[in-house]
Amino acid sequence: MSVERIHNPGSRLSRELAAVRGFLLRDVDLTKRYLLWDIVWLIYNLINAIIIGLIGVSSGAAPAFAMDHQGYVLYLCIGAVIWSYLGVVFIFVAQAIAWERWEGTLEYTFMAPVHQFTRLAGMCLASVIYGLIRIVIMMALLVWIFDLDLRGANFGAALMTLGLSTIAMLGMGLVAAVFPLLSPEKGAQATEIILACTLLVSGTYFPISVLPALLQPLAWICPPYWALLALRQALLEHAPLREMLPNLGMLLLSGLIYVPLGYLAFRWAENYAKRTGLLKRNG
């Protein structure tokens, strides 16, 4: 009977799904433990978004944006909220290794008898749920504070864009997670640098045309750039799905590249860390 259970695909799938749930609940418990810090960062990001919106209110409609005053404020608020979401999804995954090393659970987690994809799936699912809660709270408050008009917005296309951008950003996070795994001392700092560079070239608060010519091509390999283009089409321009297909296609392509790349890079880094003893708390 035990041999049959070992080779039973259904039994194995059930164990892996139970493990995904276990990793998810572990991250939920960690969030509860540091809930006050999460509230602090939520308030910080919310105030930052409000400040960005107030800049739009005080400056009026910018001619370069070819939109009215209300549209300019909405343009900035979309950038602030979506960046807050994609940033937290990225950093949650990219620095998960650093947090586990700090907690002293890294070696035990990597030695657990579960498939690597299972562990990553639980970790990514937790980041998405956490980010979605934040984005709902922030967007609702910004709409109320600035009396933003979203009538006519294409919410269906916006949700599709959010899903595709989440997948692509999770892939980027997996690529960046390699650095904390390989370098206990400097890896976490490297992920922050990657996130800052992504913000610079993503067009979050300004069109990339104002960037130096040398930096503008970098936006093409940046998933938030395509996500923001599509989301602003859906929420600001009320564009139908067919007009958004080029940007959505680039966003989908980003996911198809970053997710396998991140998985393969993380798998290689994990094997290297196990061979060289980098899974200990102090590296």
Residue 281 lies in a domain: no
Q: How many CB atoms lie within 10 A of CB 196?
A: 10
Residue 36 lies in a domain: yes
Residue 282 lies in a domain: no
Tally of domains in the chain: 1
Residue 283 lies in a domain: no
Residue 172 lies in a domain: yes
pTM (predicted TM-score): 0.77
Looking at the chain, the whole-number percentage of residues with pLDDT higher than 70 is 73
Residue 123 lies in a domain: yes
Query: What is the C-alpha separation between 278 and 283, in angstroms, rounded?
Result: 4
pLDDT tens for each residue of 160-199? 999 999 999 988 988 888 888 888 777 778 888 888 889 8
The range of the structural domain enclosing residue 100 comes to 2-276
pLDDT tens for each residue of 111-156? 666 666 676 777 778 778 888 888 889 888 888 888 888 888 899 9
